[in-house]
Structure 1
Amino acid sequence: MFGRSQDDRPPLQRALDAAATLKPGTWESVEALAQLAVACQGSPDAARIYRTAAEAAAQLKAGTFESVRALVWLHRAAEGLRPADTPRG
């Protein structure tokens, strides 16, 4: 599908592999990692991926459309990964 050779792995596995090659320290990487954490909900990888996204977001300059969008995705990931018996807010 992407690239020259056929990759028959499931899309989520390919996304996990691609996440390892994201340029660190960008809002794009924060957004992609937050979305990936949501996609991995219920797996051992979800919390680790979320932490990586949150750590990257903490180091970035805010104040752009891209930063707001990425932070909203980070919030969605946090809400999605929170245990059901934990109060939202």
Structure 2
Amino acid sequence: MLVAATLVSESGDLMLITSGGVLIRTKVEQIRETGRAAAGVRLINLDEGETLVSLERVAEEPDEENAEENMMENSEYTESANSSENVLSEENGEA
């Protein structure tokens, strides 16, 4: 029985949510691809009476190291932008 289907990219994650409150998050790249004649891929075993209530695509979270680098780059850009605004204000006699 087909429960859910969606198009995904390899860089994202999938989150499965059951009526019993079980949440499973898995990387798309870890899901086995199947051919045209295949029966599909099972991602979760449901208990009797339990149903899949939602299947959501989730953007992959950056790892901590990359997140810190991005924060540093963004803060440097913000500081540079603020500095140039101050220079412009001083040149116009608004400081």
Name the TM tier (shorter chain). under 0.3
More strand by share: 2
Query: Larger radius of gyration, structure 1 or 2?
Result: 2
More helix by share: 1
With structure 2 as the length reference, what TM-score do the two structures score?
A: 0.20
